Amino acid sequence: MGLAARIEKNWYGRAAGNLWLLPLWLIFVVLSTLRRFWYQLIKPQPSAVPVLVIGNIAIGGTGKTPLITCLVRLAEEQGIRVGVVSRGYGGQSDSYPLLVNEATPVAQCGDEPALLASMGIPVAVDPNRARAVEALAGKVDLVLSDDGLQHYKMHRNGEIVVSDVTRGFGNGWLLPVGPLREPVSRLRSCDLHLVNGQDFTIQPVAYMTHQETSAPSTLAGQTVHAVAGIGNPARFFTTLRALGVKVIEHPFPDHHAFADQDLEFNDELPVVMTEKDWVKCRELNHPRIGFLRVSALPTDDVEQKLVRLLNKLRETSNG
């Protein structure tokens, strides 16, 4: 096991194994505290459109992207026009802000923006998220920020923090001793804290290939190569096993840029991946790849809270 893997293992185990990182931890605590204090002192200018941040305080995947698509659906049901802004991690554009559409190369915008844009959602990408928000002003009634909880340069009108029921907040330490970007006390200042696996679940809704769309249950009993370049690959593998799939695991780093050789396993078994990975692999035209489309399903109580928050923000005027 490599050094990085051992450090991450200790994030979700005994912090004692990472205490040798205390000098770096102290630097992180000082810098992050000063940074937040600075933006509390020098508040960013309000944007022309209300902003709701969907982010986390811990490193790793928590199901933010399916939750964002759920929020888009709920907003549309309320007659609220919604757009999404993102840093565009994994992409590199010659100019920003970048308005993303279905034809925008993933190499320019990143995988998550490409996925959201493929669903017809207005998306703007910019490392400076405040600038991306302004690019959507006048086009939408509300902007959702995909991550960016710690991007204090961007004004926000509401915050949703997302965590995972299995990982929680790990050993409770800030980086690099633990997985936290901010202390757990940060939850007190957000509008909602939603736990994936408790307040909402990620449900598979379709299995899709180049050729056809079918029910997820069609995978039951099959042995597949499961490919996942997301923040928490184990969650995807667990979802497949719950469908009765025999899984050969192939985890990759989050936002991995796939190449042909990553999907060659010298057999005829299907290759199943997440939709976020599919947007990077669809041009490869590999004959046996498909993806599992998923949807976030909130509890009735949480759905009501989300609808109330969306309507409250729609009435917000930053002017």
Q: By three-state DSSP, how is residue 162 classified? A: strand
Q: Is 65 annotated as a binding residue?
A: yes
Question: Between the CA atoms of 15, 160, 280 and 202, what dihedral angle is there, to the nearest 10 degrees?
Answer: 80
Indicate the residue type of 33: T
Per-domain boundaries in the chain: 46-148+155-169+187-199+299-314, 201-297
46-148+155-169+187-199+299-314 CATH, one of 3.90.600.10, 3.40.50.2000, 3.40.50.300, 3.20.20.370:
3.40.50.300
201-297 CATH, one of 2.40.50, 2.40.360, 3.40.50, 2.60.40:
3.40.50
Asked if the domains 46-148+155-169+187-199+299-314 and 201-297 are classified in one and the same CATH topology, the answer is yes
- Is residue 192 within 8 Å of residue 54, measured between CB atoms? no
Instruction: Please compute, for residue 227, the number of CA atoms within 13 A of its CA located in the half-sphere on the CB side.
Output: 27
pLDDT tens, position by position, 209-259? 988 999 999 999 999 999 999 988 999 999 999 999 999 999 999 889 898
Q: Is 63 annotated as a binding residue?
A: yes
Q: Is 64 annotated as a binding residue?
A: yes
Q: Is 209 annotated as a binding residue?
A: no
Q: Is 61 annotated as a binding residue?
A: yes
Q: Are strands 82-86 and 200-209 parallel, antiparallel or unpaired?
A: unpaired
Measure Cα distances from 81 to 36, 124, 309 in Å: 31, 14, 15
Q: Is 158 annotated as a binding residue?
A: no
Q: Is 201 annotated as a binding residue?
A: no
Shortest CA distance to 63 belongs to which of 201, 255, 169?
201
pLDDT tens, position by position, 84-120? 999 998 899 999 999 999 999 999 999 999 999 999 9
C-alpha–C-alpha distance, residues 45 and 305, integer Å: 28
Q: CA angle 53-55-57, nearest 5°?
A: 135
- Is residue 215 within 8 Å of residue 205, measured between CB atoms? no
pLDDT tens, position by position, 123-143? 999 999 999 999 999 999 999
Q: Is 60 annotated as a binding residue?
A: yes
Predicted TM-score (pTM) above 0.75? yes
